[in-house]
Amino acid sequence: MADPRTVSVVIPAMNEAAAIAGVIRDLRAAGAWREILVVDDGSADATGQEAAGAGARVLRHPYNKGNGAAVKTGIRAATGDYILIIDGDGQHRPEDALRLVARLGDYDLVVGARSSATQAGATRRLGNAVLNRLAAILTEREIPDLTSGFRAMRREHALEFLPLLPNGFSTPTTTTLCFLRAGYSVAFEPVDARQRTGTSKIRLSRDGPKFLLIMLRVMTIFSPLRIFLPIAGASFLIGAGYGVWTAVTQHHVTNSSVLLIMLSVIVFLVGLVSEQVAALRIDGRR
């Protein structure tokens, strides 16, 4: 169990003047944190002033760089052994923050997994469910909430993956997959999200494909064969099956069948080399 006095709270915020002071006051009342850092990501309102007035240390971006960039700024500036990342819109409960931190020590990353009933909108719930399922298939681990930004982690491990984190809203997705594929201990703590102050800045139609690409990117970094092997297998089965069918019905094998089989071999070999590169990268990191 991590002592809150060893935990730096990082709050990425953009145009959250209406909620940020209340979030900080609730957090300060809930625990004796080492520090509360608010990263004002180029807000056009008084987010920074409200946060400073509530007692937080404020770091300001001169322009909007993205949620992920704000998180990275906070991680770099933090001085605690552990990091707690929480949104500045008031949807997360301070008592839940303490529950996440309480599991640090046994776990390297603890994610606040929102129940589906508290995730806004049927479309958003469906999109998150699809992403969770795809991530579970790729990582071979049940993932109840891939996109939750509410999480606590060891700072040293967060710094390890900092170059891989995008500047946009897919930072939670990337950190979860990186911790899982690197073999660190990850836990999902059930939480209920409250109604946020203001509107969400994430749009499923715009950001959903980005989340999918991030998953594929992380998997090709840590476990490439999980991506390459199914593609090679499908290409081989289609090519071999088509070749058998044309041999039986037309008494010859078409070029298409040969090309598909050759493609499967090439993709498999590329995946095999990529797997070795990934293994060397991980061993070098250790």
Each of the 286 residues of the chain gets a pLDDT tens digit; together they read 788 899 999 999 999 999 999 999 999 999 899 999 999 999 999 999 999 999 999 999 999 999 999 999 999 999 999 999 999 888 888 889 999 999 998 999 999 998 765 555 566 667 677 777 777 777 778 888 888 889 999 999 999 989 888 887 778 888 988 898 888 999 999 998 776 555 555 555 555 576 677 667 777 777 788 889 999 999 999 999 999 999 999 888 889 999 999 999 999 999 899 888 877 765 545 4
Nearest to 23 by CA among 96, 106, 105, 92: 92
211/217 Cα distance (integer angstroms): 10
Q: What count of Cα atoms within 13 Å lies in the side-chain half-sphere of residue 54? A: 26
What local confidence, expressed as pLDDT, does residue 163 receive?
A: 86
What local confidence, expressed as pLDDT, does residue 267 receive?
A: 94
What local confidence, expressed as pLDDT, does residue 246 receive?
A: 92
Q: Class of 4-222 per CATH?
A: alpha beta
Q: Report how far apart, in Å, the C-alpha atoms of 96 and of each of 12, 99, 145, 261 are.
A: 18, 5, 15, 53
61/122 Cα distance (integer angstroms): 34
- Indicate the burial class of 157 (C-beta count within 10 angstroms; 0-12, 13-18, 19 or more): middle
* Cα dihedral sign, 85-91-95-99: negative
What local confidence, expressed as pLDDT, does residue 193 receive?
A: 78
What local confidence, expressed as pLDDT, does residue 284 receive?
A: 46
What local confidence, expressed as pLDDT, does residue 171 receive?
A: 85
- Indicate the Cα dihedral angle 263, 267, 269, 274, nearest 10°: 160
What local confidence, expressed as pLDDT, does residue 211 receive?
A: 66
Across the chain, where does the E strand assignment appear?
7-13, 35-41, 57-61, 82-85, 109-114, 151-154, 186-191
